[in-house]
Amino acid sequence: MDIQSVKQRFGIIGNSPLLNTALETAIKVAPTDMNVLIQGESGVGKESFSKIIHHLSARKHAPFIAVNCGAIPEGTIDSELFGHEKGSFTGATEKRKGYFEAVSGGTIFLDEVGELPLGTQARLLRVLENGEFIKVGSSTVQKTDVRVVAATNRNLLDRAQDGKFREDLYYRLATVPIRVPRLADRSDDIQLLFRKFSSDFAERHHSHLLSLTAEAQQELGQYPWPGNIRQLKNITEQICVLESQTQITADTLKRYLPAQAPSLPSLLSKQDSSTEGMSERDIFYKVLLDLKRDVTELKKVVFGLLENEPSPRPTPAYNNPTHYPSVSSNSADTEATENQPIVISSHADDHTEDAEWIDSDGFNSDSNLSLEAQEIEMIRKALILHYGKRKKAAEDLGISERTLYRKIKQYELD
C-alpha cells in the first residue's frame, strides 16, 4: 500500500518529508512481527501510527488494545498488564486476565512506556524475550503471542542513564524506531490541518466554515505549537464555535493562542554557527556567558541614567583611592552614634583593587556576578555615598545597622 492510500484510509493530513519518512517506515515494518518504538512529543499522533502498523499486519483481524502506561497507578499496573489470581492482594476477589493474555495473537500499544516502574519493566522484558509472563500472585509461567508497539515522548536512553529505564528493554522495544515530527517542523501542513479541522467542526456544530487572512496564515505558521496537532485541533474548535465571523484575522487568532515564554532549548537552537560541533554543555555555558555580558551592558545603561539624574544627596569624589578613610569593625564602634562616622581607609596594597572597583562611570564593567562580590560592592558604595555614616548606609541598603557591622567584619572591610 502506498503512502497516499494510507493517508486517506487513516485520515493523515500533510505532505511534510519528515511525516512521509515516518509513514514509509511504518508501512514497511507493518507486515513483520518486529517490535516498534514510536517517538515524538505529546499530541503528534503516535497512536495513529500504532493503528497503521496493526491494520497493515497479518494480525489485523486479531485484537488491538492501547494502554496508557502513565495513567495506571504503579500499584495496579502489573495486574492490568499481566493479570492476577484470586486473593493475590486486597480487593482481588476473583481471577483476572491481563492485557497480554487477553490480546494474545494481536497487538498491544504501550503509550508512554517510559513511565513504567522498574519492576514492571523487568516483567515486560521477559515477555519480549521469551513470550512468557507470570500473573500477580501466581507461580505458573504462561505463554502469550503479542506484538508490542510502544510510544514515548521522553528520551529513554537519558532515563536509562538516570537509572529510571532499563537499557536492555529500550533496545528490545526499539527494534525499529519511528520518529513522528512535531507540528512546528511541519509548517506547510498547519494550514491543511486547520482547514480539515474547520470543515469537520463546521459540520459537527452546524456552524460556518472558517477562512484565514494572509496575516492569520502567517501567524498560524509561526506559532510554535507546543501541544502539536492536539492543540491546533482544540483551538480550531474554539474559534469555530465562538467566532461569528467567517474570515479570521491575525488579531482574532492571537486571542486564542497562548503566549509562549522562550525555553532553554529554544535559546540554544537560536545560537549562531559558532556553536556548531559544540556539546550541549558547552553551548549552555556560552548562553550563560552571553547572558552575563548582557547583564553587564544593562547595568552600564542603568548606572548611566542614574548618573544623569539630579540628586539632592552629595556624591563624594574620591578620585584618589589613597584618600579613602578607614572602616573600623571594632566592637567599640557598635556603640558609636550616627555622628561618629565610619570612614573608609584604603591601604597601599588595596589601591589597585579600589581603582578597579570604581571607574569613571561609577561601575566596573567586568564586575563579578557572584552574590558575595555584589554584596561587598554595594556595602562599600553605600558607605562612600554617606561619608562612612553606618546608619544612613544601612538604611540605604535596607538592612539593620547591626547586620551592616556583621557584614563589615565578615568581609574584612577594614
Residue 33 has pLDDT above 70, yes or no: yes
Q: Is 192 exposed, middle or buried (0-12, 13-18, 19+ CB in 10 A)?
A: middle
Residue type, 258: P
Q: Which residues contact 277 (CB under 8 A, 6 or more apart)?
A: none
Per mean pLDDT, which range of 168-177, 339-348, 390-399 is the poorest?
339-348
211 and 169 Cβ atoms separated by less than 8 Å: no
The pLDDT confidence band at residue 250, using thresholds 50, 70 and 90, is very high
Q: How many whole angstroms from its chain centre is CA 42?
A: 13
138 and 88 Cβ atoms separated by less than 8 Å: yes
Q: What is the 3-state secondary structure (H, E, C) of 248-302?
A: ECHHHHHCCCCCCCCCHHHHHHCCCHHHCCCCHHHHHHHHHHHHHHHHHHHHHHH
Average pLDDT over residues 385-389: 81
Q: Which residues contact 47 (CB under 8 A, 6 or more apart)?
A: 66, 109, 111, 151
Q: What is the C-alpha separation between 153 and 222, in angstroms, rounded?
A: 23
The pLDDT confidence band at residue 412, using thresholds 50, 70 and 90, is confident
* Domains, the chain, with CATH or none: 3-181 (3.40.50.300), 184-254 (1.10.8.60), 264-308 (no CATH), 321-410 (no CATH)
Residue type, 275: T
The per-residue pLDDT of the chain, averaged, comes to: 81
Gyration radius (Cα) of the chain, Å: 33
Q: Which residues contact 76 (CB under 8 A, 6 or more apart)?
A: none
Percent of the chain with pLDDT over 70: 76
Which pTM was predicted? 0.62
130-175: pLDDT as tens digits: 999 999 999 999 999 999 999 999 999 999 999 999 999 999 999 9
Residue 270 has pLDDT above 60, yes or no: no
Per mean pLDDT, which range of 106-110, 236-240, 344-348 is the poorest?
344-348
- What is residue 170's three-state secondary structure? helix
Average pLDDT over residues 20-29: 96
Q: Which residues contact 364 (CB under 8 A, 6 or more apart)?
A: 356, 357, 358
Per mean pLDDT, which range of 282-296, 311-325, 374-388 is the poorest?
311-325
pLDDT, position 302: 67
Number of residues assigned to the chain:
414
DSSP 8-state assignment for residue 107: E
Buried-state track 326-344, b at ≥16 Cβ within 10 A, e below 16: ebbbeeeeeebeeeebbeb
Average pLDDT over residues 344-356: 42
20 and 3 Cβ atoms separated by less than 8 Å: yes
- What is residue 328's three-state secondary structure? coil
Average pLDDT over residues 203-214: 91
Give me the DSSP letters along 344-406: -B--GGGHHHHHHHS-TTSS-TT---SHHHHHHHHHHHHHHHTTT-HHHHHHHHTS-HHHHHH
Q: What is the C-alpha separation between 216 and 303, in angstroms, rounded?
A: 42
pLDDT, position 327: 43
Cβ neighbours around 99 below 10 Å, total: 20
Q: What is the C-alpha separation between 175 and 32, in angstroms, rounded?
A: 11
Given its phi and psi angles, is residue 113 left (phi above 0), alpha (psi -120 to 50 degrees) or beta? alpha
